[in-house]
Amino acid sequence: MRYAFKSVILLLLAVSAYFTSFSQAAKKHDVILKLNGDELTGDVLEISDSTVRFTYTGEKLVYNLKKSEIRKITFASGRVETINAPVAAAPAATTTAPVQVSAEERRNKVAVLPFSFLKDGQAASPEMSEEVQNELYALLSKHAGVYTIVSPRATNVALTKAGISRANMLNYTMAEICQTLGVEFIIDGMITQNRTTQTSYGNTTYSDKTKKDNSDDKKNSGYASSSSTSVQNYETTMDMKIYNDKSEVIYNQNRKAFWNTGDAYKNTMEYLVKRCPLYTK
C-alpha cells in the first residue's frame, strides 16, 4: 500500500513538471527588431520616451535599449509597434542622355553665350551679362548672311537644362557646348571695366540788373552763380572669341575701348563683330 502511494505521488510530480515545462515552452515572448537587422527575443518591461527596458528570455538582467536603434517591437500578443519607420530608398536618378545633333543639323548655326562682365574686379550681375549677349545677338542678326543666329533665350534655356553655367563652364569643352546647343559656332567673351579718373566741368553765369533812381542816375547791380559736374571715367577692354564644334578658335580679338564712358564697350563690340568671319556686309 505504501509503495502504491509513493508511486502515485511520483506520477503526480512528473505530470506537474511536464505541464510546467510545457507551459514555459509554449509561452510567447516579445521580439525587438533593431535597425541593423538584429532580433532580440525576451520581454519588454517598459517603454519610455527614449529607451526600452528589456530582458532576454531566461534571464533576469534588464537592459535599456535606445529607441533610436529600434525599428519595431512585435509583442507576445501579436501587436506590432513601429518605433522608427524604415526610410524609403530614394529612387535612382534618371539621367537623360543628351540628344545628339548631327553635324549637318548644326551647320551654320551660331549661339552667343552670356559674356563675362567684370567691373573693378568684381563680377557684374547676370542681367548685365545677358544684356551684352542680347546686344551682340541683335548686331550680328542684322548681318548674318547664310548663318542662323540662335536667340539668347533659346541658348540660355538649353544651357540651364544641361546644368551649364558660368561657374562650371570650364568643365566642358566648346565641342560639348556646341553639341548641347545644337550649333556649329559659339561666340564667347569677357568685358573688363575699371574706374579711372573723374572729369569735372564748371559753369559760371552772371546776371546784370540796372536800377534807376529819382535823379535819373543809373545804378548797376548783379549776381553770379556757378555749378560743377563730375563725370566718372572708365577703362574698358573687350575680349571676344569664336569657337567651332571641334573646339577650335577661329577668331580671337582683345581690344581696348577708345572712349572712356561707361558704355564704351558697345562701340568696341561693333568694331570686333564687323571684323569677325560670321559677319556679312
Residue percentage of the chain with pLDDT more than 90: 54
Tell me what pLDDT residue 210 has: 57
Q: What is the CA radius of gyration of the chain?
A: 44
Phi first, then psi, for residue 267 (nearest 5°) are: -65, -40
- What's the whole-number average pLDDT of the chain? 84
pLDDT at 146 over 60: yes
Please give the C-alpha separations between residue 119 and each of 139, 156, 195, 237, in angstroms, as whole numbers.
Answer: 23, 23, 8, 11
- Cα-based angle 76, 78, 84 (whole degrees, multiple of 5): 95
Listed by start position, the domains of the chain span 28-84, 103-208+226-274
Query: pTM of the predicted model, to two decimals?
Result: 0.58
User: pLDDT grade, residue 10 (50/70/90)?
Assistant: low
Tell me what pLDDT residue 164 has: 94
Tell me what pLDDT residue 155 has: 97
- The span from the CA of 86 to the CA of 11, in Å, is 53
Domain 28-84 in CATH 2.30.30.100: yes
Phi first, then psi, for residue 58 (nearest 5°) are: 80, 0
Tell me what pLDDT residue 94 has: 47
Tell me what pLDDT residue 185 has: 98
Among 3.30.2180.10, 3.30.70.100, 3.55.40.20, 3.40.50.10610, name the CATH number for the domain at 103-208+226-274: 3.40.50.10610
User: pLDDT grade, residue 27 (50/70/90)?
Assistant: confident
Q: What is the mean pLDDT of residues 265-278?
A: 96
- Provide the edge-to-edge strand list for the sheet that holds 39-47: 62-66, 51-56, 39-47, 30-34, 70-74, 80-82
Contact 265, 192 (CB under 8 A): no
pLDDT digits (tens, 9 = 90+) for 103-116: 899 999 999 999 99
- Cα-based angle 155, 159, 163 (whole degrees, multiple of 5): 170
Of 5-14, 66-75, 201-210, the range with the highest mean pLDDT is 66-75
pLDDT digits (tens, 9 = 90+) for 195-243: 988 887 767 676 666 555 555 555 556 666 667 788 889 999 999 999 9
User: pLDDT grade, residue 168 (50/70/90)?
Assistant: very high
Tell me what pLDDT residue 14 has: 59
